[in-house]
Structure 1
């Protein structure tokens, strides 16, 4: 087993080398941090022979399997931990030709939750769209379910994984901490036959991290880095400086500085000095639902208009939504240019998954749908620089750009996306509360170093939307607003089975009355009519 632990310091000015220390114990060396305010990543790399047989056998049924779970709590997007997915559980996978169709759902119900919606792999999973044929970093299928926390999964793993481990207590403590992470990734592919588990935490309270990392065994090593993000002249690279330690090999922290290309990058303010630390751009977004929601809710993305300047001319603003099966998008609405313009949308670039417009939720087999929208951004206003410049057109002068300045409009820029709710199954209550996860908002820009992205040791792929762009695409993520949970809730009216008795009885009564009325028309009324007609005919014959 290999371990790599990385701390990215949030405020480099508040960090000093005295906050880290290494104990060179011959039996069990350790690394200690004291009050370090940082984002932490803990990555484990395990071979199949290091896992319990049940889990090892399960993984060998897939050509590749990528699990992405994200909390609904906002977290600091400090490079290189910048990429995002919608809150909930995302699974991206490619089965082997010999994989049974029911293997996916059986594993999902056994290791995650038996209540998750899953009938079979072919019916429930979403076929992954790949719009760029040159970009193949995407699995074949996707599954999504809103999973608020990892407690149930953690309890299961503590029993299946930690129960057979030598350091059971340390294993259970690590699994418990993973349940508190901002996001968790699990990656497996049949070529390397290794499992990579990555957990990222935003912080550890107001005091920061107070960790003591012990060497798990005499022949093991643990790579530890305490780094900070530095300014860099190359706009497509990120640069770090700090200290690196390989616990169990060379216990002395060594100063280091390195830079690497990155596919996912935070939105930063232009730096005026190479010595100043990078500063996050003030652009953020919030998500809300127009009230009352009804059965046709409108999802509204709110961004400050004055900060919606593209980072470069090649950048386009996008929003990627992953919706549970009880919500769907009517793609025909988004083919009307007037409708798109009124909602500040440029286009619906991609839509996959459960898109049936009429079916109720209990009929829809697919787990979710995914949509990618390109958003419209406000145009800057051109303001004359003086009274002379404002009168230039009166004298026939050509509009001179040097005589004007461009100013972005102020206020909120609201982008609205029309959604539709499916009818939900009857329940023992009048309303069902369902979650609507926030979308991921980012600028998609052209990059020149696309082929070098895999060299980034922190690179994160298989997020559901990279395959919708070319290989030389750079994603600059917009931060969600702090202090809110990245999920909205809708109270959907459903049939209350506690009060449905009169509905059933009334329906039966109406059917019976209708049947009796029909019988009267067919047999009773028509028979009297025939007798009257026969009586008239007999009277005519007598005359």
Structure 2
């Protein structure tokens, strides 16, 4: 096994080599304002038997977890997904091992309610672009506590307090990625902590090769418009006696749009809530930042919706309706989506939607120019399913913020990005674009805050009216009484028809009696 720990600072921030103390198995230094990335690479032989069987039976396996707490990212660690648990999976030929995936995910992460890939996973399109996985699964998962306990049992010895302490640190992680590489036969586990004050202190273990990097973004003179520069210090613990300076550049598919957005449901929500996105800028990435002149850029919102809520693709196919909501087109939605089924009878997991947004056009030359950037909104109509009865008559549905980005897609067949140490693929939406597409990510900013003492949750909660279990017994009794009264009335009417012949009480016997009286 080997690990790579990287502190990534912003442009202009750096640390002098003299500020670091390198020992035989440790490196210490001052606090730095940085993002911390911990990556553990585990060889196939070091995995447990159950994990070996699982990963070797999969052609593609990528697990992404994103925290519901707002965080600031730093280039080049900018790739984003909506908060929650995401799985991207392409099964192999071993069907028996594939069917063990859901129970194993439940043991590792807890709270995963999928039954089997065939029933719970949704299919990703592979007719246009072939660089995506076959299946996708999404579920809201707020905590990694179950995963931490599982990792402690599998990776830490009872006497290794430092191992347990490092895993406990995942409570503050902003994201966790687990990917299996079938070519190199390794499992990579990557945890990302948000941009904040981080203490530089790393201790290596005898079984691990530990590399520590303290890096920051850079702009060398040789930097190409489509590249990102990185410089800083690298140290291999147990091998280097002092940090070594480094500088390198690479083309990155994930970049910073340098503005923010927020999302909230318009009131009143009802059973057909509308999610409003408020974006701080309508300006696309500048032409000097494009890879070539043939690149076409457009803003997108990628939503992963839990089972109780969905988008109606028929409604989102009406051009006039889309224009009224500042939307351009529905580019992708999970299919099929049952529009009528209540939530409690469904076995399929959540759905995914990719919408192209329609920003307001820049002012014409005859209009006064207030600013290059203009705040604007887009509205996404959604629909709630009928939910199971609950105490109090209401249930809460949590809907994560979408991922919002500008996608600059090459018009021709551009070459794929060369690998780099911080690249991230298999995000669900990247497989819906051509190779060579650049994603300019917009940072989510919760309504009412974004850090500190403000609102920090990247989840909107909708209160849904349902049958109140406390009053259900009166509903049952009332329904039974109504049915009984209705049944009695029908029986009474049928008896009247039988007894009086159906002539308003003057059947044959009634008429005979009437004749005798005359």
TM-score after normalising by structure 2: 0.89
Match of 2:142 in 1: 148
Deviation (angstroms), 1:479? 1.3
Structure 1 stretches of 5 or more lacking a match?
268-280, 385-403
Aligned ranges for residues 137-536 of structure 1 at < 5 Å?
A: 137-162=131-156, 165=157, 168-203=160-195, 208-217=197-206, 220-231=208-219, 233-267=223-257, 281=258, 283-305=259-281, 307-312=282-287, 314-353=296-335, 355-384=337-366, 412-446=375-409, 451=415, 453-481=417-445, 482-483=450-451, 484-529=456-501, 532-535=506-509
Deviation (angstroms), 1:193? 2.2
Deviation (angstroms), 1:110? 2.2
Higher mean C-alpha displacement, 314-323 vs 482-491: 482-491
Match of 1:79 in 2: 75
Match of 1:7 in 2: 7
Deviation (angstroms), 1:496? 1.8
Deviation (angstroms), 1:253? 0.9
Match of 2:290 in 1: none
Aligned ranges for residues 83-94 of structure 1 at < 5 Å?
A: 83-94=79-90
Asked if 2 retains the 8 angstrom alpha-carbon contact of 1:19 and 1:36, the reply is: no
Deviation (angstroms), 1:516? 1.2
Q: For the residues of structure 1 that align with 2:325 and 2:492, how far apart are their CA atoms?
A: 57
CA deviations on 1:54-112 (whole Å, 9 max, x unpaired) are: 33333333222110000112222211110000000001111222223632222222222
Q: For the residues of structure 2 that align with 1:296 and 1:514, how far apart are their CA atoms?
A: 35
Deviation (angstroms), 1:46? 0.5
Q: For the residues of structure 2 that align with 1:146 and 1:243, how far apart are their CA atoms?
A: 38
Match of 1:270 in 2: none
Deviation (angstroms), 1:43? 0.5
CA deviations on 1:254-313 (whole Å, 9 max, x unpaired) are: 11110011111112xxxxxxxxxxxxx3x21000110111111100000134x5344346
Deviation (angstroms), 1:540? 9.0
Deviation (angstroms), 1:49? 1.9
| Paired residue secondary structure (1:54) | helix
Match of 2:103 in 1: 106
CA deviations on 1:411-465 (whole Å, 9 max, x unpaired) are: 6311000000111111223211221100011111135995352421211011110
* Pair 408,500 (structure 1): closer, same or farther in 2 beyond 3 Å: same
Asked if 1 retains the 8 angstrom alpha-carbon contact of 2:417 and 2:436, the reply is: no
Q: For the residues of structure 2 that align with 1:49 and 1:429, how far apart are their CA atoms?
A: 52
Asked if 2 retains the 8 angstrom alpha-carbon contact of 1:351 and 1:372, the reply is: yes
Q: For the residues of structure 2 that align with 1:116 and 1:409, how far apart are their CA atoms?
A: 45
| Paired residue secondary structure (1:12) | coil
CA deviations on 1:363-388 (whole Å, 9 max, x unpaired) are: 2221111010111111111244xxxx
Deviation (angstroms), 1:492? 1.2
Structure 2 stretches of 5 or more lacking a match?
288-294
Asked if 2 retains the 8 angstrom alpha-carbon contact of 1:33 and 1:209, the reply is: no
| Paired residue secondary structure (2:150) | helix
* Pair 243,211 (structure 1): closer, same or farther in 2 beyond 3 Å: closer
Deviation (angstroms), 1:410? 7.0
TM-score after normalising by structure 1: 0.86
Q: For the residues of structure 1 that align with 2:470 and 2:296, how far apart are their CA atoms?
A: 57
| Paired residue secondary structure (2:243) | strand
RMSD: 2.4
Q: For the residues of structure 2 that align with 1:489 and 1:292, how far apart are their CA atoms?
A: 13
Asked if 2 retains the 8 angstrom alpha-carbon contact of 1:238 and 1:260, the reply is: yes
CA deviations on 1:168-213 (whole Å, 9 max, x unpaired) are: 3232222211232110000114333211000111145xxx222322
Deviation (angstroms), 1:12? 3.1
Aligned pairs, number: 496
Asked if 2 retains the 8 angstrom alpha-carbon contact of 1:86 and 1:438, the reply is: yes
Q: For the residues of structure 1 that align with 2:29 and 2:65, how far apart are their CA atoms?
A: 27
* Pair 131,36 (structure 1): closer, same or farther in 2 beyond 3 Å: farther
* Pair 186,449 (structure 1): closer, same or farther in 2 beyond 3 Å: farther
